[in-house]
Amino acid sequence: MTAQHDATEELEVWIDQDLCTGDGICAQYAPEVFELDIDGLAYVKPPAPAGEEADLLTEPGATAPVPLPLLTDVVASAKECPGDCIHVRRVSDGTEVYGPDAA
């Protein structure tokens, strides 16, 4: 896992639920981006307007944008994820920059 991206690049994150253990570490680090659903697995969610709750994106491979202020927390989630199933990639070319498939 390496840090190879320019801070101006847009990033997105997705979770491979097949590998999620449901421990909830990601939702503790970045609750604005990750949440456990009733099935006990973690899903991403898009940014919500202040005071509103975003819907979880439950389709397989669904991605949510990574707001820059939350990048550190999202990267920490990917590093600590026991399932190794949090993938952060560049929007422009789909290259994984943090996560198990990062170069």
- Using CB under 6 A as the criterion, which residues of the chain lie in contact with ligand SF4 when the complex forms? 15, 20-26, 34, 42, 77, 81-83, 85-86
Question: 23: which residues sit within 8 A by CB, 6+ positions away?
Answer: 82
CB of 34 to ligand SF4, least distance (A): 6
CB of 19 to ligand SF4, least distance (A): 7
Of the pair 8, 13, the CB lying nearest ligand SF4 is at 13
CB of 83 to ligand SF4, least distance (A): 3
